[in-house]
Amino acid sequence: MGESQARGMLTQRVQDKALELMGREISTVELRLMPYVQYVAMNDQYIDMRRVSDDDHDTLAKWKEEGRVICYQDNLELTKEFWGTLHEILYLSYVDLYA
């Protein structure tokens, strides 16, 4: 077993996976938004935009511009590819804490 990391930590291996899957590194804001986006997508698919930060708004807009999120103002819709990307990154940063 290797060194442990804190849950939700933006490590080099998370950045490497983001670079592989998204073509770029991600920010801590993006990483911290991912579990909420996963939850919303699996449940009511509605994000109350009054309850997310300006940085989260910017991140959702970036993901929409990149073609990862189809819609987020009324009902959250993700591409199948981004759904897989979310899970790969979340696994490394929140589940597999011993690398």
Query: Is residue 3 in some structural domain?
Result: no
Q: Which domain holds residue 62?
A: 12-91
Asked whether residue 24 is domain-assigned, the answer is yes
**Which pLDDT belongs to residue 43?**
94
pLDDT in tens, 10-36: 999 999 999 999 999 999 999 999 999
Compute φ and ψ for 4, nearest 5 degrees.
-90, 160
Nearest residue to 52 (alpha-carbon basis) of 65, 61, 43, 64? 61
pLDDT tens for the 99 residues of the chain, in order: 455 678 888 999 999 999 999 999 999 999 999 999 999 999 999 888 888 899 999 999 999 999 999 987 778 999 999 999 999 999 999 998 776
CATH number of the domain that residue 58 is part of:
1.10.10
Reported pTM: 0.88
Residue 5 counted as domain residue: no
52, burial (CB in 10 Å: exposed 0-12, middle 13-18, buried 19+):
middle
Measure the CA angle with vertex 53, ends 96 and 60; round to 5°.
70
Note whether residue 44 is domain-resident: yes
Q: How many domains does the chain have?
A: 1
Q: Give domain status of residue 72, yes or no.
A: yes
